[in-house]
Amino acid sequence: MIVVIDGPAGSGKSSTARAVAGKLQIQFLDSGALYRVATLVYLDTEKDYHAFFEKFNKSKISFHFKNERFHVYLNDEDVTDAIREMEVSEHVSEVASNPKIRREVNDLMREVVKHDIYIADGRDLGTAVFPDAELKFFMNADLDTRAQRRYRELKQEGQDVSLEEIKENLAQRDEMDSNRAADPLKKAEDAIEIDTSACSFEEQVSIICEKISKRIN
């Protein structure tokens, strides 16, 4: 069984999905983290797509969810923190817009969720990757709210970033994600929309947990 949460960057979907997974004791899949791993490889090959595909296809990507954190490994090296750095954030939409990369990451996700109950977050999960998902949610929030959330997250991690820099990055990603040719960011027709601008974290987690529990039972 797969439950998906789509929405723009900073809408709170990842933190919400992790909390829901922990509360209901189900598996969590962070699709954005997988694209960030691909971006890490892209930057390592100095943005050379030919070299990127050659290296990416030979790479081993693994992950697991533990203590409400999604741990990611690239060739057995823990890159959980590295994929959250600003340089990766600035290029992840560019990498994720490549149709060939999307196909490979999507195939990886579809294979993983064949067993157990998963909740996953992303941009196009309910429309392109898992159109037959058992439940679909679409989370959104205004740009200022999303920028403030991301700023607090990165500052807690010790990164030297400014609020304006983050806001500009989110606006650029919104533009690229919504207008890319391959599987753009959009709300699935049958998705339940949750505006988190005026919604507490506990409220949004509770809403989703209740819906999933009813479906499981």
Is residue 126 a contact partner of residue 133, using CB atoms and an 8 Å limit? yes
- Cross-strand bridge partners of residue 78: 73
Which pLDDT score, from 0 to 100, does residue 212 have? 95
* Alpha-carbon distances of 155 from 10, 76, 172, 214, rounded to whole Å: 14, 27, 21, 37
What pLDDT digit, counting tens, does each position of 91-117 carry? 998 898 898 888 888 998 998 898 889
What pLDDT digit, counting tens, does each position of 25-56 carry? 999 999 889 999 999 999 999 999 999 999 99
Which pLDDT score, from 0 to 100, does residue 177 have? 83
Is residue 42 a contact partner of residue 34, using CB atoms and an 8 Å limit? no
Would 46 be classed as within a structural domain?
A: yes
Which pLDDT score, from 0 to 100, does residue 10 have? 85
- How far is it, in rounded angstroms, from Cα 130 to Cα 127? 7
pLDDT above 90 (res 4): yes
Would 152 be classed as within a structural domain?
A: yes
Domain count along the chain: 1
What pLDDT digit, counting tens, does each position of 51-73 carry? 999 999 999 999 988 887 899 99
Per the structure, the complete domain to which residue 184 belongs is given by: 2-210
Would 142 be classed as within a structural domain?
A: yes
Would 215 be classed as within a structural domain?
A: no
Would 216 be classed as within a structural domain?
A: no
Which pLDDT score, from 0 to 100, does residue 122 have? 87
* 110 membership: H or E segment, kind and range: helix 99-112
Which pLDDT score, from 0 to 100, does residue 210 have? 96
CB count in 10 Å sphere of residue 206? 14
Would 217 be classed as within a structural domain?
A: no
pLDDT above 80 (res 120): yes
DSSP string, 21-67: HHHHT-EEEEHHHHHHHHHHHHHHTTT-HHHHHHHHHH--EEEEEET
* Alpha-carbon distances of 135 from 191, 192, 196, rounded to whole Å: 7, 8, 18
pLDDT above 80 (res 17): yes
**CATH number, domain at 106?**
3.40.50.300
CA-nearest of 90, 82, 94 to 168 is: 90
- Beta strands 118-122 and 27-30 are parallel
Return mean pLDDT, the chain. 91
The whole model's pTM is what?
0.77
